[in-house]
Amino acid sequence: MQPYLELASPTITIPLSAGKLYRAAPANLLVTSESEAMASSMAYIAACAAALATLVVALLRWAYRWSHPKCRGRLPPGSMGVPLLGETMQFFAPNPSCDVSPFVKERVRRYGSIFKTSVVGRQVVVSADPDMNYFVFQQEGKLFESWYPDTFTEIFGRDNVGSLHGFMYKYLKTLVLRLYGQENLKAVLLAETDAACRRSLASWAAQPSVELKEGLSTMIFDLTAKKLIGYEPSKSSESLRKNFVAFIRGLISFPVNIPGTAYHECMEGRKKAMKVLRGMMKERMADPERRCDDFFDHVIQELRREKPLLTETIALDLMFVLLFASFETTALALTLGVKLLTENPKVVDALREEHDAIAKNRKDPDAPVTWAEYRSMTFTNQVIMEMVRLANIVPGIFRKALQDVEIKGYTIPAGWGVMVCPPAVHLNPDIYEDPLAFNPWRWQGKPEITGGTKHFMAFGGGLRFCVGTDLSRVLMATFIHTLVTKYSWRTVKGGNIVRTPGLSFPDGFHIQLFPRN
């Protein structure tokens, strides 16, 4: 039987092989199915297009809200940058000079001395205006409070002294001043800093060269860590020093916590340093008969009170911050200071004139520096002021608005950060003539600065003026005294600087010391 096609309605029979018949759908049903499939596809495409359009509109609205934040008044001019990232990349861009960072300089030129931006995910108003800076510092606890970006808080600890307010901050400040206040400086620390400077410089003079930043960091860390935690270089606490080196390298870096980044290394350094401190605390807490030999022992005593104001977390974060702040900032300022002295021999001559006169007035020229001698170092104090003005170790001081604040015709919304920018003030040609020049004589005849002012804030300002200021000045003065009276020096290599935005010496600063005739 031959295959055949039967074209009869209502079905089509298609014999394809012997004994097998297949029933095909009617032609009108095929057309209907194709139409339904096409309609379904079109509906799916339309739904996807609608969803995509909704997403695009939502993203555009979000991006618009990011770049145009809500404000009840008039926000300062500026740019919020790319959503989420803001202008973080520009903020951390390297700056190989002592000048104001390009990030601030370009925006001040474009927008004025007060501008808005976004850094590490936070909305911030940056101030290069001396009057606004002073106002912000004076309104601590009223309109503003101390605040730092989350990345800084992660590094320093959630309960670090910079994040505490009111009574607790004042209590901790009083506690720290037992160690760093003028009474203890006169009685103990002046002699100890003088001896440390003499030992270190004598040791360096016996070497072909010394990397000054590393040498100063070690010297000051050994000195201050002994007072803080009973540190001895030859004992197990040496690991703490190494962890702080790792911590410092990533302190002011791009906040990406991924293995291999400086920030990750910094966080790992913090973990290890805190582990050492916790071990020390546990050991001391278990020994109620232990004598008070250092500052940590006094902190432990506070924790043992019946109703202590401190918690263990606050105590550990306090010790961590003090160990860092006590040595790194002063070491950086002194390293840059010696570099500036090397480039300005007239300043060295003037320093030698002052310090040789001090030594000649002693019965024993090699006797330690006395408090009266330290207070008589007028030109040295001018040199130190000029060093820290140009060093600008702290590129920004952060506060947070507690409510909407009206100032200079602008509104700072509640919750926004404020970054006071000391370099923009210290290097302002309207305030300091030829601001990049190292000129200690510019301070001649001016009253001694004992707190932050509108035009000088190297040590902070307001209620949070740095409690270690007097110790830093004593350290710098005693180091300069021994350096210029006992030695001459020359640069071996390095000395170039980079700010990202914190100051660093990527190639170090190597010098060779010679006994002075």
Task: Mark the binding-site residues for heme, compressed into ranges.
Answer: 466
Q: Report the C-alpha gap between 372 and 174 in whole angstroms.
A: 25
Q: Report the C-alpha gap between 438 and 378 in whole angstroms.
A: 17
Which residues face 411 on adjacent strands? 406
User: Which residues are annotated as part of the binding site?
Assistant: 466
CA–CA distances in Å: residue 406 to residues 72, 81, 135, 282, 422: 10, 24, 11, 49, 22
**Beta carbons within 8 Å of 256's beta carbon, 6+ residues apart:** 263, 264
Cβ-contact 201, 497 below 8 angstroms: no
Where do we find the tokens 């003005």?
389
Cβ-contact 76, 413 below 8 angstroms: no
Q: Is the dihedral of CA 72, 75, 80, 84 positive or negative?
A: negative
505: Cα separation from own chain's centroid = 16
Which residues face 489 on adjacent strands? 513
Q: What is the DSSP letter of 495?
A: -
H/E stretch holding 217 reads: helix 212-229
H/E stretch holding 478 reads: helix 469-486
